[in-house]
Amino acid sequence: MFTKTIGAAATFEMQETTVHAMFGKGNEKAVDKYLEYVQKRADISMYEIGDFLGISKGFISTSKNNKQLEQMVNLAERLAAIDPVQGLEGSGLALKEYFGGSSQSLVERFELSRKELNKFKSLPLERQLKELDKHLTSIGASNELLEAQSKTSLGEYRKAIGAINRGFREMGTEGLRKINPLLQDFNKWLNSADFAKLKAWGTDVFSGLVSGAVDAVRRATSWINEKFINNPEFQNLETIKQKIAFVFDAFGDEFRIWWSASGKTTVTAAAEQITEVVASVLNNSKPVLSAAIRLGAGIGEGIRQGIMSTFELPESVKSLVPGGNTAQTKRLAEFNQKMSDTDDNTPMYGGPAVMQAPQPKSLWGSVTDAIGFSGGIRNVPYNNMPARLHAGEAVLPREEAKRWRGEGGANYGNGGGSGNVVITGNTFHVREEADIQKIARQLAYAMAR
């Protein structure tokens, strides 16, 4: 729809402006008369106004006489009638060449007689037009032919389409009048200092992106050359398997260097910024903010561990590295296989403490792994909670933990009861050997509190 309205109006405006310019200043009346004529022809012809204006340039450069221009348009339309494939565009071009002294196009495009055309091609323009009119009439390309064709079904259809397109174009003309001032203002802005600044900024940004990309490629190429292609240690490896292991190690080392230098700070800072936004949404609650920062740091550490895990060699490659086939490695591989084959939450070995196949880690699990419990934890909140332990620490089974916390209903062995030890004066009543352990635990618990 835009093409049929605004687009068509803009095209017509351009063609009309060209006609005005070719007629020259002071010929406004002649221009208006010519445009009125071609519009009338377009209304009853099988061709649209744009087709007539398209051939006008060649004719106006030959003559600005309205009568002669009307004759030229009429001859072009009659030629197009005997060969619709050539159309007005082909007939207009052939006539322009003929008025310039060449009959080649009329002979080849429309199969006119060269002998007849040569008889009057050197005559003055007025005589040429009359002789061409007679010649075309003699071969049947007459005005009667134009009228007969326009009344055919195809002719009526083309006229209907032309009328519809003219209506759309006139709709677009009003819109074009409103758009034109806006386009003028926009073009002024394009020539302003503000747009020049925008272009300069865009140029700097784009050149920076390109320079950054080129620099990244160069640094990556240099690193590959240094670490692998020009590295004697890598080149002297005998098998492709050894080279694969070498590549994994190299990438892992580079990541560790980056993480220690700036990566950890960068990732943690980004996580903290995210949590600051979340905290602001929650009214900047200080407890929430404190917890969020710890969470952000933990997420960053979890990300690091996840990335580092990608640099671990698969078992198929580990077995190819020197020392990979030791008995210790094989036992570890067997244990890992047993863990993989065991369903989640299914015990692998029975007893007071249970070793079982690990559950897939959740995001929270990864975060708590990263945060740790270096300050201790009084109670494990749920089953299978992962924790990082340190040398010298201890883990108590559930019943012993209950007794350590002094909870009611704890199992104190054969002695039963709540686990209280009777102390009278300076005398300790030890009823059984287990009482010694109970006394020690109660003292330790009291001191801990």
Q: What is the pLDDT of residues 225-240, one digit of tens each?
A: 888 889 888 888 888 8
The answer to whether residues 167 and 3 touch, using CB atoms and an 8 Å cutoff, is no
What is the pLDDT confidence band of residue 354, given thresholds at 50, 70 and 90? Answer: very low
Mean pLDDT of the chain: 76
Rounded Cα–Cα distance for residues 372 and 366 (Å): 10
- Answer yes or no: is pLDDT of 351 > 90: no
pLDDT in tens, 382-423: 777 777 777 777 888 887 887 777 776 666 655 444 445 455
Q: What is the pLDDT of residues 256-296, one digit of tens each?
A: 888 888 888 888 888 777 777 666 655 555 555 555 556 55
Question: In Å, how far are 286, 365, 384 from 93, measured between CA atoms?
Answer: 84, 82, 90
Confidence of residue 249 (pLDDT cuts 50, 70, 90): confident
pLDDT level of residue 137 (50, 70, 90 thresholds): very high
The rounded distance, in Å, linking the Cα atoms of 166 and 59 is 24
> What is the predicted pLDDT for the residue at 403?
77
Which position has the higher pLDDT, 323 or 339? 339
Q: What is the pLDDT of residue 348?
A: 54
| Burial of 112 from C-beta contacts in 10 A (0-12 / 13-18 / 19+) | buried
Tell me the mean pLDDT in the region 63-67: 92
Handedness of CA 429, 431, 437, 442 (dihedral sign): negative
Taking the C-alpha atoms of residue 420 and residue 267, their distance in angstroms, rounded to an integer, is 52
Report field, pTM of the whole predicted structure over 0.85: no
pLDDT in tens, 176-221: 777 778 888 888 888 888 888 888 888 888 888 888 888 888 888 8
pLDDT of 448 reads 55
Confidence band of 357 (pLDDT split at 50, 70, 90): very low
Q: Give, in order, the Cα–Cα distances in Å from 125 to each of 64, 75, 116, 267.
A: 12, 13, 16, 85
pLDDT (mean) for 283-310: 56
- In one letter, which amino acid is 319? S
